[in-house]
């Protein structure tokens, strides 16, 4: 009798564990683990490329003396020619990635340095002369 009870308890435990394991559906192709085909991924990439998002590539932009380029969060700027100064937000500067420093308002932007606008809070560059810059990301010109 004791053996029968033990066998029944073990069988109930096995059935219970099997039911719990079956609830977690990691079968390939199921909702818990969807299969994505190469053609689907290729179509999604092609759709993104055809959209021409402003953040995909660098765009050449010309500013005249006195114009400001104000970048949004994540915008990258490279001064290619001319002279420009940084515009900070009053507390923090524009990240000069190449120079490993923050540029505060009025500090000179070095040519061919990669600048990063960390937040959409008014940071950017001011053209002192006519400048050509490369920009990746969204921005406004004032």
Q: Structural domains in the chain?
A: 2-51 (no CATH), 59-141 (2.60.120.10)
Q: Is the pLDDT score of 53 beyond 60?
A: no
Averaged pLDDT, 46-72:
79
| Residues 86-108 pLDDT 10s | 999 888 899 999 999 999 999 99
pLDDT, residue 10, reads 75
| Residues 103-130 pLDDT 10s | 999 999 999 999 999 999 999 999 999 9
Averaged pLDDT, 15-25:
63
This prediction has a pTM of 0.61
Averaged pLDDT, 67-83:
94
CA atoms within 13 A on the CB side of 14: 6
């Amino acid at each position: 009798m004791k053996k029968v009870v033990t066998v029944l308890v073990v069988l109930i435990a096995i059935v219970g564990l099997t039911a719990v394991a079956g609830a977690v559906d990691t079968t390939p192709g199921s909702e818990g683990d969807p299969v994505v085909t190469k053609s689907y991924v290729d179509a999604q990439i092609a759709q993104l490329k055809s959209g021409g998002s402003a953040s995909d590539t660098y765009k050449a932009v010309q500013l005249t003396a006195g114009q400001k380029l104000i970048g949004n969060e994540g915008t990258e700027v490279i001064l290619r020619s001319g002279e420009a100064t940084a515009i900070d937000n009053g507390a923090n500067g524009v990240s000069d990635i190449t120079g490993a420093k923050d540029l505060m308002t009025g500090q000179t932007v070095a040519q061919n340095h990669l600048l990063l606008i960390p937040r959409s809070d008014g940071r950017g560059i001011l053209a002192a002369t006519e400048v050509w810059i490369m920009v990746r990301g969204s921005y406004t010109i004032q």
